[in-house]
Amino acid sequence: MASRSVSRATIEDVAALAKVSIATVSRVLNNTGPVSIDTTQRVMDAISRLNYVPRAAARALASNRTETLGLLLPALGSEFFPPLLRGVEHAARHAGFDLLIHTTGARGIQHGKLRRAMGEQNTDGLLIFTGSVDDQDLHRFYEIRFPVVLLLQSPPLGVDLPSVNFENKSGARQLMEHLITVHGYRRIAFLRGPAGNQDSEWRERGYCDALEAHGIEVRPELIAVGNFEVEDSRAIVAAWIEQGLEIDAIFAGDDDSAIGAFRALQLAGKRIPEDIAIVGFDDVQIARYLSPPLTTVHAPIEDAGRIGAELLISQIQTGHAGSELLPTEMIIRGSCGCQV
């Protein structure tokens, strides 16, 4: 016997065993078209007796639907992704879709390479995380009307793709107001994300707006690129301390940067928040376990994943979908100087 034969039941085997045509088997499998209750039973029996599993490839080829959602990410490094994946996976499974995950490397996918990686023929639609795909490819998806939803990224000009974003600016603004009015900080530093990261840009605008609204000058030397990375951010803050830069507080563009800032201060023997206060953005799981616990802005990451997937599925099924802007919420813990 061939080594694999045991597992190779096909729809024909089922049909033969149930003494019906393959069309009928297909009907009971997909619940499409009428089948007598008696026949249905025979087919079901045959299926389970043979351990029959429909081959996804054959089905996809014949029906032109893959029932698969693609998820494109730059990397799977940060703490940010578990909730995001959970949201996406949950929504996908709920709607009967599989989830195909690809990482593209930090620089995103170069145009052209994308095709082979996860071309538009191999999933029913794509969930694209910030920075994974260049504008040229986004443009193309838009033109050929391939279902796509952008995660934490707005579409480039003229490309009207649906997207899911956080209310970054208002969240950042609110947090800054807190630092300025409640705690009286004036020399507040900002740790940027990677170049081109839209979340970071909006958060920075909230940062600048708040300063200006209170007549505080925006000082370029207080703004640096932490890349949303623990280590990069630690190094920057360490350098600041080394230089003796005067700072009341650090607004880290995301919680990973905040962790880096924590590290730097701890290693330098500085107290948080007495010497320098730190606040972040995102509210990842770890935030509440730092000490002092991190004051930050809660971003509904799992919701973003879930809603992104839902929008994509609706786009696949109905042909169109809107965008969503998800509210953020300031979470006061101890690292800003508040007693909690």
Interface residues with DNA (CB under 7 A)? 8, 10-12, 19-24, 26-27, 29-30, 32-36, 38-40, 52, 54-55, 58-59, 61-64
Interface positions, 283-312, toward a copy of itself (CB under 8 A): 285-286, 289-291
The DSSP letter of residue 195 is T
Kindly indicate which of the ranges 170-178, 237-245, 282-290, 327-335 contains the residues binding a copy of itself, using the contact rule CB under 8 A: 282-290
Q: What is the 3-state secondary structure (H, E, C) of 98-155?
A: EEEEEECCCCCECCCHHHHHHCCCCCCEEEEECCCECHHHHHHHHHCCCCEEEECCCC
Rounded CA gap, 55 and 10, in Å?
8
Minimal distance, residue 82 CB to DNA, in Å: 33
Minimal distance, residue 303 CB to DNA, in Å: 33
Q: Which is nearer to DNA, 122 or 170 (CB)?
A: 122
Give SS3 for 324. strand
Rounded CA gap, 191 and 180, in Å?
17
List the helix and strand counts (H, then E) for the chain: 12, 12
Rounded CA gap, 299 and 307, in Å?
13
133 backbone φψ class: left, alpha, beta (φ>0; ψ -120 to 50)? beta
Binder of a copy of itself out of 99, 235, 238, 268 (CB under 8 A): 99
Minimal distance, residue 121 CB to a copy of itself, in Å: 4
Residue 201 partner contact from DNA, a copy of itself, none using kind-dependent CB cut-offs of 5 to 8 Å: none
Tell whether residue 13 is a contact of a copy of itself (CB under 8 A): no
Residue 174 partner contact from DNA, a copy of itself, none using kind-dependent CB cut-offs of 5 to 8 Å: none
Tokens coding 19: 């003494």
The DSSP letter of residue 282 is B
Q: Which is nearer to DNA, 31 or 339 (CB)?
A: 31
> What is the distance between the terminal CA atoms of the chain, rounded to a whole angstrom?
70
Give the CA distances from residue 3 to residues 7, 8, 9, 53, 58, in Å, rounded to whole numbers and listed in that order.
Answer: 9, 10, 13, 18, 22
Binder of a copy of itself out of 13, 16, 44, 82 (CB under 8 A): 82
Residue 82 partner contact from a copy of itself, DNA, none using kind-dependent CB cut-offs of 5 to 8 Å: a copy of itself
Minimal distance, residue 221 CB to a copy of itself, in Å: 28
Kindly indicate which of the ranges 12-20, 60-68, 163-171, 273-281 contains the residues binding a copy of itself, using the contact rule CB under 8 A: 60-68
> Which phi and psi angles does 285 have, rounded to 5°?
-55, -40
- CA 256 vs. chain centroid, Å, equals 15
Residue 156 partner contact from a copy of itself, DNA, none using kind-dependent CB cut-offs of 5 to 8 Å: none
Residue 259 partner contact from DNA, a copy of itself, none using kind-dependent CB cut-offs of 5 to 8 Å: a copy of itself
Q: What residues line the site for a copy of itself (CB under 8 A)?
A: 3-4, 6-7, 48, 51, 53-58, 60-61, 66, 68, 75-79, 81-82, 85-86, 89-90, 93, 98-103, 112, 115-116, 118-122, 140, 143-146, 259, 262-263, 285-286, 289-291
